[in-house]
Structure 1
Amino acid sequence: MVSVIAYNIRSLYNVGSIFRTADAFGISRIYLTGYTGRPDEHHNANKISKVALGAEKSVPWEYHRSAAKLINKLKKDRVRIVGLENNIPSDRRLIPLSKFKTKYPCALVLGEETKGIPKPILKLCDDIVDIPMRGQKESLNVSVAFGVAAYSLIHP
């Protein structure tokens, strides 16, 4: 079982893409946290559904204002929390995604597009994985990175 925690995702199009990708890989649940847009908010619904193409109706989801409270609850339920982040070489927990050994159930944490996962949330993660970059850019779009990570977690 793999779920995803979307923390402060600004772009509604990224939220829609995360839903569509989650549907493709059989992700069990999406947790929308912080100011991440929700499909049940009228002013967000069209932008999310434009990309999600109905996946916002087929993938179970919940909204939680506090990612930290959600993570602590999931940890009590023995869910392993895996942060997807880059540019934190000083953290000894950082593992390239290709070398990560998935332990189930797990929840993958996705951070805000420009700032990533904040340190207080990273501290709650059991593991931190990254996708090594070979080009000039330091990171992938959050929804693209989720697709890469989801595939890896589902097909270890």
Structure 2
Amino acid sequence: MEEKNRFVIWGRNPIIEALRAGKSIEKILMAHDTHLPKELIKLAEKNKIKIQKVPRKKVEEIAGTKKTQGVVALLSPIQYWNDNDLIDEVIEKEGVLLVMDHITDPQNVGNMIRTAEVFGVNGIVIPRERSSPINEVVVKASTGAVFHIPITKVGSLRQFLERFKKKGGWVMAVEKGGKPIHKLSFPFPLAVVLGSEGKGVSKSVMDTADLVATIPMKGKVTSLNVSSATAIALWEVAKQHWIER
């Protein structure tokens, strides 16, 4: 097996060895017309790594070769934090979490991570499903900020936020229909939730929110790109968290 780049490996045995070694893998893509060894499937399940079926052509395009044995793994450039450890860290520091509610555009994810790191956010939470993987596009868009801020992946944002609240945290959703963000007094430790580009903050996550913050808008276009909204929201939070203290 050869590597096209450091984020991609292919072939059954190399992927099994990567799983055994505890490498951080975003997800595994397998061709529709292939069968994977039971060991590979079991290791993926144990490590909570999704296996997605795609056309063989897609597998070969990602690997850059036809010698894939019908399977390719996308390696993460970072090591994810344990979610409970991140909760404890943020609670202890009375800090701030940025929660990305199913953001699928890697450019947006990278920009949001960069903004979070600049404004002193203590950690980032990303769902395992329906979210952009942390890949080379994200790394580039973040200008390397992914290497300087704790990031965790969770199966359920709602359950994560409920655990965060039980330990003393607060949850703020940035969404329409709330109070103007510049008029709010933020409680800390605080999880700031921004929703997907098309659907906004999901209902299950909204149900956990202690407060809803809205960015006032005056123009004819009544929405912001999610990375722009993140910058505005985190600036307002940063002012109260550490800038004006």
**TM more than 0.5:** yes
**2:101/2:202 contact within 8 Å kept:** no
Q: Distance in 1 between matches of 2:103 and 2:121?
A: 18
Say which of 228, 237, 241 aligns to 1:144: 228
Match of 1:3 in 2: 97
Q: Distance in 1 between matches of 2:199 and 2:132?
A: 17
The answer as to 2:116 corresponding to 1:22 is yes
Q: Distance in 2 between matches of 1:131 and 1:29?
A: 22
- Structure 1 gaps of 5+ residues are 40-44, 89-93
After superposition, residues 40-119 of structure 1 pair within 5 angstroms as: 45-86=135-176, 88=177, 94-119=178-203
> 1:119 Cα shift?
2.0
Q: Distance in 1 between matches of 2:224 and 2:112?
A: 14
> 1:65 Cα shift?
2.0
Q: How many residues are matched?
A: 145
Greater RCO between the two (CA within 8 Å, min separation 6)? 1
Q: Distance in 2 between matches of 1:151 and 1:21?
A: 9
Greater Rg, structure 1 or structure 2? 2
Following TM superposition, the consecutive aligned residue runs of length 4 or more in structure 1 with deviations greater than 2 angstroms are none
What is the RMSD computed on CA atoms of the aligned residues? Answer: 1.0
> 1:136 Cα shift?
1.1
Match of 1:13 in 2: 107
> In structure 1, the residue corresponding to 2:207 is in which secondary structure?
helix
> 1:73 Cα shift?
0.9
Deviations 1:32-76 (A, max 9, x none): 12422232xxxxx11101210110111111001211111111111
TM-score (norm 2): 0.58
Tell me which amino acid in the other structure corresponds to 2:200. G
Tell me which amino acid in the other structure corresponds to 1:25. F
**2:169/2:189 contact within 8 Å kept:** yes
- Structure 2 gaps of 5+ residues are 1-94, 241-245
Q: Distance in 2 between matches of 1:116 and 1:135?
A: 20
